[in-house]
Structures are given as C-alpha cells and as structure tokens.
Structure 1
Amino acid sequence: MQKQTWLCTAGNKIHCRRCQATSKRTRLQCGAPALSGKRVCRFHGGRSTGPRTEAGKARIAAALTVHGHSTRQAQRELSEELVQLAILEETGRLVGLITGPRSRGRRPGYRKE
C-alpha cells in the first residue's frame, strides 16, 4: 500500500502534506498534517532539530546504528575482516590453490568513514 502525500482538510479547502509516519500497532499511515517543511507531524518528531552541540552530535554518531543491530564499529571490523579474506582469496587464486568461481558480493573496503 502506497502512502498518501497530500491531505485535504476543511472540506477540501486546505491542501497540506500528510505525515509520512506509520503506526507500529496498526501499520496505518498517520492522519495528521505534516509540519511546514517537514515529512512528519509534531507527534512523530517534526519539531525536532536534532543535536546542535558537538557533544550531542558525537553522542548520536557513537550510538547510531545503520541497519539492524550493528553499530558503526561492528561494521568497520567486519569490513576489515572482509578485506583480509579478499586478499587471502586473491592470493590463493594466484598460487593456484583456488580454482572455483569467485565469491559473490561486493568487494570490501570501499567505504570511507
């Protein structure tokens, strides 16, 4: 189901953006109008300005998870291990120990942080 981006209120006299937040319980889109210049209403964080101080920005960056439960530190460690594995695989191919197809997936170490 696609989310609606516009909301008509006051008998179709007022057109405004609709909050893009989804309820965890009902899985339905919020029915409130979004704040001006924002994607969500005041109940779903539209008034938030985010961290402003350097300490606040550092705290958010340290706690930020990109996907699932892995933190940036865990992703960095995984990327370093995948680089080592790719080097071992390439060395095994050059020596002739590995003759099968190459391992699938992206080549590690491309991200700059």
Structure 2
Amino acid sequence: AAAAARQHIVDGVDTETGEVLEDHTENFGNESNSPAQATAPAPELTVVATMPLRHRVLAQYIGEGEYLYHVDASQKKEILRLEMDTDNSYVQNLLLAAENVEAFKKAIEHDIHK
C-alpha cells in the first residue's frame, strides 16, 4: 500500500488529490524570501551630466570632495533647496560665477568637480 501511495507523489504533490505534502522552498542564505524586500523599488537616480549647469555645479558641491556621476532623489531635493536658498551667499556666488564664465559653461563634468 505504501509503494502504491508513493507512485502518486511527484515533487511533494499528491497527483490524485493535488495536496502539497512537503515544503520545497530552499533558502541558501544569500537570498531573502521576504516580500517587502522583493518589492522594494530601486532608487531613482539622475545622471548629473544631463542636468542644467546650476544643478551640475551644486551636485558636485554636495559631493563633499567626491565626484558624483548620479544623484538620488534626496540629493536632488538638496540641490533644489540650495539653488533656492538666497540667504546662502556662498552658494549664490558660486552659481553666479559659474554662469558668467563662458569656459566654465562648456566644461566637462570632471573639470566642474575640480
């Protein structure tokens, strides 16, 4: 009788009743079965080189010495906040200088970073 019962079980499922007899999920430690992690959206990144000059200058300013290729949503908000902050004379002078030097307008990103 036991041999006959085993003939109806394929991959842990009874082929006559459709009942799942065994749990066949495997976790090798390098992936998570958490649904929250599986549906977590990837961060939205913006390429700095495609941004307007004022935003490119501010992106490199907030990089704190590191060259930024991309900015995420929070960094983009910080760039917009700095651009609108008229009380920050350093940032406003930086933007004014960048817009009034013709060679700077045509500079590549790496040179803006310097």
Q: In proportion to residue count, which structure has more helix?
A: 2
Q: Name which one, 1 or 2, has greater alpha-carbon Rg.
A: 2
Q: Give the TM-score of the pair, scaled to structure 2.
A: 0.23
Between 1 and 2, higher relative CO (CA 8 Å, sep ≥ 6) is seen in 2
Q: In proportion to residue count, which structure has more strand?
A: 1
